[in-house]
A and B are shown apart, each in its own frame.
Chain A
Amino acid sequence: MNEMTKIETTLKDWETDQEVRWCPGCGDYAILKAVQRTLPQLGADPKNTCFISGIGCSSRFPYYMETYGFHTIHGRAPAFATGVKLANPDLDIWLVTGDGDGLSIGGNHMMHVLRRNVNMQIMLFNNEIYGLTKGQFSPTSREGTPSPSTPIGSYDRPANPAGFAIGAGARFIGRGFDVSKNLPDVLKAAHAHQGAAFIEIFQNCIVYNKDVFNDFAAPKGAGDRQLWLEHGKPMLFGDPKAGFDKGIALDRDTLQLKVVEATEENWEEAGVLVHDAKNRVIAHMLIEMPFGPFPMALGVIYDDPAPTFEAAVAGERAKATKGKTANLAKLLGSGQTWTVDDKQGHPTD
């Protein structure tokens, strides 16, 4: 995001008059509402807000936001967004993409927008399936996913979006899921981050991949399966009402994370790690924790700002143009020139 004057708006101000065309019950509705609820809290200004998307179910998002919006082509939204941001760094850009758009056809552009650190929020809706093309497996589908193109189950090893992002050099990694009440907090942190903020949002495709995230997203027993990270707080999980009963610690012999029994009282003795959002190594371990033996790491996993691309471009411009003024006539007549000063055509220099 950018430094900006705060504007008073309500959720209604961010809704368009267009009929939302996602399937009834789609997780996208919840994400749309979470974003529309978050923007007034940020004091965001609709005229300076721009949603840019690629192709896919998630990429219809801009049509439902009363802001500037650009629904581009498959996989290329990061490239369009980079051009928009360089042309007008004052715009607050939200990129909307999916697991197919952002990691399959557009994986290359995703890598480069992250490593360049172009200042924007990147919401990758991960539903582990191609929805708009009717249910083929995607690059994040789990092995064995039956689909029209893999009738007896997929055999590709899935990509880990947050792992890809941190590997590409992202300086902010957040995770949430569509119906989570904490999603707006993750969005706010992403917005506060100066630079490319990558948010993986698990999203339920109720038609082609229904409830695939229920193993950790279902309300029942969520405490045991979700690790909500907060900077400066111990990594505890379990039933919050009972003061938690487990934590994440580091096995210093194998340099791997481990689950230990711990409570809000004894977590320090139990060796539970305190979340440091600037620790890239631990962030990477949290992202890669195998779900099952471990809970799903959610919230702001990594947040360590670095200079943005548009600032670097502006800095380079200042350096390159120092002491230079634009003079087109002079420019055209520069280089290896000579003057003909009479009709006989004798050059004079």
Chain B
Amino acid sequence: MATQAADTPDQSAQNDAPDAVVVRFAGDSGDGMQLTGGQFTLSTALAGNDLATFPDFPAEIRAPQGTLFGVSAFQINFGSRSINTAGDAPDVLVAMNPAALKVNLDALKPGGLIIIDTGEFTKRNLDKAKYDVSPLEDDSLAKYDVLAFDISELTIEAVKPFGLGNKDALRSKNMWTLGLALWMFDRERAPIEDWLKAKFKSKPEIADANIAALNAGHAYGETAELSGPLKQLTMPPVPSEPGLYRTITGAEAVSLGLVAGAQLAELPMFFGGYPITPASAILHHLVRLKEYDVTTFQAEDEIAAICAAIGASYAGSLGVTSSSGPGIALKGEAMGLAIMTELPLVIVNSQRGGPSTGLPTKTEQSDLYQAVYGRNGDAPMPVIAARSPGDAFEVAIEACRIAVEYMTPVMLLTDGYIANAAEPWAVPDPASYEPFPAKFLEEKNGPANDDGEASLLPYKRDEKGARPWIKPGTPELMHRIGGIEKAIDTGHIDYAPENHQAMTDARIGKVAGVSVPDQDIAAGEAGGKLAVVGWGSTYGPIHQAVNRSRAKGMDVSHIHVRHICPMPANLGELLKGYDKVLVPEMNTGQFKTILRDQFLVDAQPLNKTSGQPFTIAELEAAIEGALS
């Protein structure tokens, strides 16, 4: 994402000196494309380029080799200017087998470069990819630059001195390819070599073989430049604010933000999770952070994961649970209990394509209704959404703040795209965040009873509408809570009509009154012909599309909403200042409906549910359409 605020208008990659390039590595799910992409991302970050990535992999762990559905791809957009998206169409496609070529070819820019491993273009693999004729032998690739050579054989040659069998030797193919890519973009090999040495610490011969493959790929680049379409390109670094940077994925950022949030609340964190794609990464990160007073618990199911987290919150920790749509559905009843018992809790939903099992590894924003409305009864719950991997850190802290200050569960929405994508991140100083230490009730808080003793009121509300947090183990404050409607102040069971009315109003009022910052304008002006209003991971493509349209002279602004429930107080008025409101979403129009409901604005939908993020071009076309 942007490491600087200003966005330069797009300059076409067809220019002689492109300021951004999109590369897609595609291969079999066993070819290590995600690893290749990850390491290429690191080298890109170290070269000072801005970047955004899009890992796109199948749900199958090891899909049958060579098949179309087993193709795994990693796309990276990087440049010497601000980058907001993983890029629309790749300039370079690395295709490790026929299936990878077939699945990804349509995305490639006309005139783009294809790097092909001919060693994998066997009759068998061509059949599996449903090619009647090898694309290398007809003119189907005529509109591209093609660099086809036997990467498999070259890799086997390169690692021969290390005595590996052919099968093991071919595992280094991805490093050979990475070496070539590093040469293409004039990158240092040393950090990758260090990484390989660390990764294969106990098997130095494997590390050496991989390094040899990396070097061989790099050397091949130099040779091939003399006589083919391959050109070396040096991309100058993006001017950035001075400071410390790192690459970060959304899953890492959520985990670090939760740790930071718990520390700002001065609370131990309890994380209850159950394995589910794409949310598991958060559990994997947090399990390694126990020194930050983090307890992780892999529960027997999604329900137990949230229930244990609520139990921990009841006992005085900050309970956190995380899942994806199907798991969130299972947690619904327990969320209601957290709302009823008014305990802090953070629920992270890394959204994926639905309904049901849907598209586990693909991205979608279709759990918005579930987040805002998806519980029995009038069950209000704050909902906030991260717009990028780095932003997920800020949003996680905000979720912790709201949960603790208002004694409420909070839903944090990310999605598969944010969870897996990486971007450079200016490392923040934790001291720059305002702490929000949790307060526990230590003594009775109610008026004296007939015996002259103070009474305990577990549901007495403060100025924010929050009830006191009372830790079991505190002397004299024994009390009972539960899911049955409770009497005002005392929390005793109470089914009286006027009490339920009052308590429902209090719960709704508390969430409606959560303090959220006013809505800002991401690009453009307050008021005008068109506002493009987004939420979540559509930030990047919307922002680029709006900026490009503005550069063409169009009257369009970008508004990106973080606080979905409650919404910023000024949002309704802000939207009324535009002639038209366009809401692009990776669902069938859920936020559009919520905006209409909240503000009676004529929000128009722009929907995409292909499991793929919006391209900038799609959004530019929609903006043009809306303004014509």
Residues of A bordering B, CB below 8 Å: 16, 18, 46-48, 50, 52, 55, 62-63, 65-73, 76, 78-88, 90-91, 108-109, 111-112, 313, 317, 320-321, 324-326, 328-329, 331-347, 349
A174 to B247, CA, bound (A): 56
**A328 near B240: Cβ-Cβ < 8 Å:** no
B272 at the interface (CB under 8 A from A): yes
**Residue of A whose beta carbon sits closest to that of B257:** A332
B74 at the interface (CB under 8 A from A): no
Q: Decide if B337 touches A73 in the complex (CB within 8 Å).
A: yes
Q: Are A82 and B334 touching (Cβ within 8 A)?
A: no
Q: Which residues of B contact A (CB under 8 A)?
A: 42, 45-48, 191, 237-248, 252, 256, 259-260, 263, 268, 270, 272, 288-293, 295, 297, 299-301, 303-305, 307-317, 319, 333-334, 336-337, 341, 427-431, 471-484, 492-493
Contact, CB under 8 Å: B268 / A87: yes
- Residue pairs across A and B with Cβ atoms less than 8 A apart, 20 shown, are A47-B474, A62-B480, A70-B311, A71-B480, A73-B336, A83-B313, A84-B312, A88-B315, A88-B471, A317-B295, A320-B288, A325-B291, A326-B263, A328-B430, A329-B429, A331-B289, A332-B256, A333-B246, A337-B244, A337-B246
A70-B314, A336-B46 known, 10 other contacts, Cβ within 8 Å = A66-B478, A72-B310, A73-B333, A76-B334, A88-B316, A321-B291, A328-B263, A328-B430, A337-B246, A340-B243
- Report the bound CA distance from A340 to B4 in whole Å: 13
**Chain A residue with minimal CB distance to B476?**
A47
Chain A nearest Cβ from B373, distance in angstroms: 20
In the complex, chain B residues whose CB is within 8 Å of the CB of A87: 268, 270, 295, 311-317
Chain B hits for A333, CB < 8 A:
244, 246, 427
Q: Are A79 and B308 in contact (CB under 8 A)?
A: yes
With beta carbons under 8 angstroms apart, the residue of A80, A111, A340, A343 that contacts B245 is A340
Contact partner, A345, options B48, B268, B471, Cβ 8 Å: B48
- Tell me the number of A-to-B contacts counted with CB atoms below 8 Å: 218
Give CA–CA (A152, B247) in the complex, Å: 67
Contact status B242-A72, CB under 8 Å = no
Q: What A residues does B248 contact at CB under 8 A?
A: 335
- Minimum Cβ distance to chain A for residue B536 (Å): 23
Q: How far is the CA of A191 from the CA of B479 in the complex (A)?
A: 22
Task: Answer whether A47 and B245 are a contact pair too, CB < 8 Å, given A79-B311, A84-B315, A321-B290.
Answer: no
Bound state CA distance, A79 and B492, in angstroms?
Answer: 24
B contacts with A: majority SS: mixed
Chain A interface mostly: mixed
Across the interface, do A331 and B475 meet the contact criterion of CB distance under 8 Å? no
Chain A residues, Cβ within 8 Å of B471: 88
Give Cα A65 to B300, complex, Å: 30
> How far does the alpha carbon of A68 sit from the alpha carbon of B300 in the complex, in Å?
26
Least CB separation from B481: chain A residue? A70
Cα-based distance from A324 to B477 in the complex (angstroms): 36
Is the Cβ of A83 less than 8 Å from the Cβ of B319?
yes
> How far, in angstroms, from A63 to B336 measured CA to CA in the complex?
20
Q: Check A80 against B310 for contact (C-beta < 8 Å).
A: yes
Cα distance, A344 to B42, chains bound together (Å) = 20
A79-B427 contact in complex given A335-B247, A347-B237, C-beta closer than 8 Å = no
B239 touches A344 (CB 8 A): yes
Residue from A66, A70, A331 having most chain B Cβ neighbours under 10 A = A70
